[in-house]
Amino acid sequence: MTHDRVIGDDFYLTQEFLAGMLGAHRPTISLVAGSFQPAGALQYNRAHDGSPAGSVGRDQL
């Protein structure tokens, strides 16, 4: 559903935004994202240059 509204295969979310969408606390999102990344289900990084904070690829979901 998101892929048809963005250009490319990646979209960017902050952990805070995702927590709000899911009704969870941000530290919980951080823990879950940390376990998804090694499994290859999610790719994220900490933005230092003002760019979006997280990237989720369509083929990674």
Residue 16 pLDDT more than 60?
Answer: yes
**Domain limits of the chain?**
9-45+53-60
State phi, psi for 26 to the nearest 5 degrees: -60, -40
Percent of the chain scored above 70 by pLDDT?
Answer: 70
First-to-last C-alpha distance (Å) of the chain: 12
The pTM assigned to this predicted structure is 0.61
Which residues are paired to 55 by β-bridges?
A: 12, 43
Q: What is the pLDDT of residue 43?
A: 80
How many beta carbons lie within 10 A of that of residue 56, not counting itself?
19
In this structure, the strands spanning 54-57 and 43-44 are antiparallel
